[in-house]
A and B are shown apart, each in its own frame.
Chain A
Amino acid sequence: MMQRALLRRFTPSLRRTFSTVEESAAAGMTLNFNLPHESIYVGAKVDQVIVPGVAGEYGVTADHVPLVAQLKPGVLQILHQGTAEAEKYFVAGGFSITHPNSTTDISCPEAVKIDDIDSASVTAAFEAAKSAFSSAEAGSQAAAEAQIDMEVNKAMAFAVGVSLA
């Protein structure tokens, strides 16, 4: 009798606690997406943003670890609350800063909708940049500019489904 009473007293209470992960995920993250000439999103509540960082693409949701990333020319995808299909922008570069309070600031010099990319002119520009690169002196400014053109046009082509080499 005594032992049973003692056992009851000292059994740790197994009260069920609810995880708060679903709550913060439902609250979403806040996105600020700005260009020098236009504010695309200010304080927008979204589910997820997929960011093209130079070290690789990564997704940001609510409560993501704080992170500063330089962006490469590539596709930025924004998943709005309750949608399955992402809204895509092609960005030329810039920075993405994720703060501890689930806010992400993305600043880019230029961003366009994928539909506005002209695959023919991008392919032509890539080929022109490739020949400019091979004829330029290694390590010169002209070679670097040709390399930038190649990189951006290759990424733009990839965004519209054309694979260039």
Chain B
Amino acid sequence: MSTPTTFWRLAGMSYTQYVTRAATALRNGLKEPAKTQAMRNEALSYNSATWAGGKAGSKKPVQVLSEAGL
């Protein structure tokens, strides 16, 4: 890719990480009934599976994407 121009790219974040962080900041700034409802959408988890020979290996939960080699 050409030289990154956005501050988040320069810091090594992907767009998805940037926008998820922005959504978190938004949810933290809400008033009470809306806030608890919105916080339910915060939860994010990743599973990683390694494919070999056209078959997926077993899934294992991953805390951070870098653990899965991304």
Contacts and interface: CB of A to CB of B under 8 A. Distances in A.
8 contacts: A92-B19, A92-B25, A109-B19, A112-B34, A148-B8, A148-B25, A156-B26, A156-B29
Interface residues of B, number: 23
A141 interface: yes
Contacts of A36: 41
Contacts, number: 81
B21 interface: yes
Contacts of A110: 23, 26-27, 38, 41
Main SS at interface, chain B: helix
Contacts of B34: 112-113, 116
A147 B35 CA distance: 22
A42 interface: no
Contacts of B13: 141, 144
A92 B23 CA distance: 5
Contact of A93 (B7, B19, B29, B35): B19
Interface of B: 7-8, 10-13, 18-23, 25-31, 34-35, 38, 41
Interface stretch (A5-13, A61-69, A79-87, A117-125): A117-125
Nearest to B8: A144
A147 B7 contact: yes
Closest 6 A-B residue pairs measured CB to CB? A144-B11, A116-B34, A152-B25, A110-B23, A109-B23, A122-B29
